[in-house]
Amino acid sequence: MLARWTRHQAITVLRELGTTLRVYATLRAPDFDAAYLARWSAIFHLAASERQQLAQELAAQHAQSYSFFVVAAAHDRDWNDFDRPRSQWRLALLNDRGDQVRAGRIVRERRTSTADRAMLPHLGTFYELYRVEFPRTLPDGRALVRAETRALLLSLSGPLGHTELTWRLR
Domain for residue 156, yes or no?
A: no
Which pLDDT band holds residue 12 (cuts at 50, 70, 90)?
confident
Q: CA geometry: angle at 151 spanning 147 and 157, to 5°?
A: 135
Please check the confidence at residue 90 and state whether its pLDDT lies above 80: yes
Reply yes or no on whether the pLDDT at 82 is more than 90.
yes
- Which among 88, 128, 125 has a CA at the least distance from the CA of 107? 128
Residues of the chain with pLDDT > 90, as a percent, come to: 60
7 in any annotated domain:
yes
> Would you call 49 helix, strand, or coil by DSSP?
helix
Residue 94 domain-assigned (yes or no): no
Q: Is the pLDDT of residue 154 over 90?
A: yes
What was the pLDDT predicted at 16?
A: 55
92: in domain: no
In whole angstroms, what is the distance from residue 69 CA to residue 67 CA? 7
Cα(88)–Cα(121) distance, rounded to whole angstroms? 26
Report yes or no on 34 lying in a domain: yes
What amino acid occupies position 38? A
What's the total number of domains in the chain?
Answer: 1
Going by C-alpha positions, the residue among 44, 43, 10, 38 that lies closest to residue 25 is: 10
Higher-confidence residue: 98 or 76? Answer: 98
129 lies in some domain: yes
Structural domain harbouring 56? 2-87+105-139
Please write the tens of the pLDDT for every residue from 92-151.
999 999 999 999 999 999 888 788 888 888 888 788 999 999 999 999 999 999 999 999
Cβ contact 54:36 at 8 Å: no
Indicate whether 15 belongs to any domain: yes
Of 27, 7, 20, nearest to 161 by C-alpha is 20
Residue 72 phi, psi dihedral angles, 5° rounding: -140, 150
- Give the number of C-alpha atoms closer than 13 A to the C-alpha of residue 124, restricted to the C-beta side: 8
The answer as to whether 44 is a domain residue is yes
